[in-house]
Structure 1
Amino acid sequence: MRYIITGATGMIAISIMNLLKENNEIYAIVRPGSSKIKNIPVDSNIHVIECDVSDLCNVSLPDSDVLFHLAWKGTIDGRDDSYTQLDNVKYTLDACKLAKKSNCSVFVGAGSQAEYGLKEEALNGNMSVDPVTGYGVCKYTAGKLSRIFAQNMGLRHIWVRILSVYGPGDNKKTLISSCIGSILNNKPFDTTEGNQMWDYIYSEDCARAFIKVATSGVDGKVYTIGSGKIRPLREYIEIIRDNINPDFNVGFGRRAYNKNQVMYLKADISELVIDTGFVPQITFEEGIKRTIKWFRRNN
């Protein structure tokens, strides 16, 4: 099969490529001049296409089967930059057009738990949403509009709302990456009390879920991707510390919770499991060892 992936230098996209590269052809769309191109696996089945997400309408690719749309500007620092976030809605529709132009039959779009807003229950694709950031509002809008767009063009459309993902190649500004980097370099790591109940999923498992929904997901459905298991955020941090330097002093409680801090984050993956057979395979204990190993090599 042939796959198109936007946002191909990201952690999830790279994990998808690693799972698919042996028996499939992949067109990896990356921002021109990106320093992260070096992270893309070198393989004869992976073709790097330099094209900004704002220019997707002008790229031509061979006929393909599935388009995974993961590109999104302003995921870390620009979450409340409404103009940037709104541009991403258009880019998502452009990705749908590219899927149709390339004769794909399936469009899989990457949404976010930010679409839900503040919830105190497990998250599923059927519950009401009330996003509290520009990022969350525009992810939700992109999902709804691209579904209409895809249906009108005869594409199977699946939207996935991703919870917290970690793994090799993660953005250095995420909590997991910041924690690992600080402990490896023996620099202070100050955080909240860590009482948030949190769901983390390893990047390879998340990639496996993407592939499963592309193959077996129900047209028009929204799936939530996570491990389906939670524990206090403090416990995750302690596991990281104990794997690197058990004597490191984590600054728990030295930072206040953010405004609109999510305190409970758990994926209800029951529909994902029923429809696709997806089951997370990597425990946090195993996944974090792999992640720390990667950071040691690339720190």
Structure 2
Amino acid sequence: MKVLVTGAAGFIGSHTAERLKSLGHQVQAIDNFSSYYDVELKKLNAKSLSEKGITVEKVDLRKDDLSKVIKEDIDYIFHFAAQPGISTTSTFDDYFSNNFFATQRLLDLFETFTKKPFFVNIATSSIYGLNAIMTEDEAPKPASWYGVTKLAAEQLVLAYSRRGLLKGTSFRLYSVYGPRERPDKLYTRLIDCGLNNKPFPLYEGSEKHLRSFTYVQDIVDGIVSVIGNEAVCNGEIFNLGTEEENTTATGIATVEEILGSKIIIENKPARPGDQSRTCANIDKARKLLKYNPQTSLKVGLEEQVKWFRNNFMK
């Protein structure tokens, strides 16, 4: 089958593109190589994909002519492209245009297709709000522009499914970590600070935050399980994560244990909209998709430290 991966030079998108290729699928990969974080990391990811036979095309979903890039021969779209995270430097328009408007432009294109791809929307636990501990059937209460716009994009895709315009599903991901994690995210930053003797910015109260830290390959297991389960997935939302909870303090201690050194902590004011707890309820994914994450926090972080050393400590 031919699959399209948007945001393919990013963290989870690149891993998913690789997995799909390894499963024998033809992968078309696109990314806008946004400067939200260091473009060199995206180029590094794209290079890794290129070595596996996947070329990442530079495409901006918000303004490029998508009909010249995306043809009717694709069977699946895995839509990762988004403005991620909670950032004081990102405007509402950044979140709206990248998360909602870009998704709408894809759907507008697909509406013109006779053969419509199965739309796999990649969403986030931030949709649930400050305490992401709910099932897929409970009302979300997003508390950030990121969560609000990702919820809007998710519902846009599902609206098309409800109207019978295409088939699709949405996966809400929980606190993903591992090799290629963005430099602004917890563990890449911790590892960088620990190895390079730099202060780590710890936001007030965040050391007590509980997270379902989920290793990236466990997340990819859930995402690709949609293939062959289209009838079960169509119109549905699934949480993907681990049921194991760890505090940020535990995460810091685990990285310190792996590195064999203490990390310098620099205390910062609390961030508005930051989640105090995430705990993935994955009963639905376990039952319908046989989803079963296995990687412990320490094992996953050992892989991430190895990746960081190999790529940034030469």
1:49 to 32, 42, 57: 57
The 1:50–1:180 alpha-carbon spacing in structure 2 relative to 1, beyond 3 Å, is same
Checking the alignment, whether the CA contact within 8 Å between 1:67 and 1:106 is kept in structure 2 is yes
User: How far off its partner does 1:210 sit?
Assistant: 0.9
* Equivalent residue number for residue 265 of structure 2: 251
Checking the alignment, whether the CA contact within 8 Å between 1:25 and 1:45 is kept in structure 2 is no
Structure 1 counterpart SS, 2:268: coil
Normalised to the residue count of structure 2, the TM-score between the two structures is: 0.86
Q: 1:15-54 alignment to 2 at 5 Å?
A: 15-22=15-22, 23-31=24-32, 35=40, 36-40=42-46, 41-43=49-51, 45-54=53-62
Checking the alignment, whether the CA contact within 8 Å between 2:197 and 2:264 is kept in structure 1 is no
* Equivalent residue number for residue 241 of structure 1: 256
Checking the alignment, whether the CA contact within 8 Å between 2:122 and 2:171 is kept in structure 1 is yes
Structure 2 letter corresponding to 1:67: I
User: How far off its partner does 1:48 sit?
Assistant: 2.7
User: How far off its partner does 1:169 sit?
Assistant: 1.1
- Residue 114 in structure 1 maps to residue 120 in structure 2: no
1:73 to 75, 79, 83: 83
* Equivalent residue number for residue 6 of structure 2: 6
User: How far off its partner does 1:103 sit?
Assistant: 3.0
Q: 1:124-163 alignment to 2 at 5 Å?
A: 124-152=135-163, 154-163=165-174
User: How far off its partner does 1:267 sit?
Assistant: 0.6
Structure 2 letter corresponding to 1:27: Q
Deviates more, 1:60-69 or 1:107-116: 60-69
Deviations along 1:31-81, one digit per CA (max 9) or x if unpaired, are: 269642341312565243321121263323351211011101354536862
Structure 2 counterpart SS, 1:234: helix
The 1:91–1:114 alpha-carbon spacing in structure 2 relative to 1, beyond 3 Å, is same
- Residue 296 in structure 1 maps to residue 309 in structure 2: yes
User: How far off its partner does 1:237 sit?
Assistant: 1.0
Structure 2 letter corresponding to 1:181: D
Structure 1 counterpart SS, 2:170: strand
Structure 2 letter corresponding to 1:185: N
* Equivalent residue number for residue 213 of structure 1: 226
User: How far off its partner does 1:123 sit?
Assistant: 2.6
User: How far off its partner does 1:287 sit?
Assistant: 0.8
Structure 1 counterpart SS, 2:307: helix
Checking the alignment, whether the CA contact within 8 Å between 2:2 and 2:25 is kept in structure 1 is yes
Checking the alignment, whether the CA contact within 8 Å between 1:57 and 1:97 is kept in structure 2 is no
Separation in 1 of the partners of 2:8 and 2:116? 18
Q: Count residues with an aligned counterpart.
A: 296
Unaligned stretches of 5+ residues in structure 1: none
* Equivalent residue number for residue 223 of structure 1: 238
Structure 1 counterpart SS, 2:176: strand
Checking the alignment, whether the CA contact within 8 Å between 1:31 and 1:50 is kept in structure 2 is yes
- Quote the RMSD (CA, aligned, Å): 2.4
Structure 2 counterpart SS, 1:4: strand
Q: Percent identity?
A: 23
Separation in 1 of the partners of 2:139 and 2:265? 36
Structure 2 counterpart SS, 1:94: helix
Structure 1 counterpart SS, 2:157: helix
Checking the alignment, whether the CA contact within 8 Å between 2:2 and 2:75 is kept in structure 1 is yes
- Residue 165 in structure 1 maps to residue 155 in structure 2: no
2:70 to 60, 75, 80: 60
1:182 to 193, 196, 205: 193
The 1:159–1:168 alpha-carbon spacing in structure 2 relative to 1, beyond 3 Å, is same
* Equivalent residue number for residue 289 of structure 2: 276
Checking the alignment, whether the CA contact within 8 Å between 2:161 and 2:234 is kept in structure 1 is no
Unaligned stretches of 5+ residues in structure 2: none
Structure 2 counterpart SS, 1:160: strand
Separation in 2 of the partners of 1:242 and 1:165? 20
User: How far off its partner does 1:30 sit?
Assistant: 1.7
Structure 2 letter corresponding to 1:220: G
Structure 1 counterpart SS, 2:103: helix
Checking the alignment, whether the CA contact within 8 Å between 2:194 and 2:256 is kept in structure 1 is yes
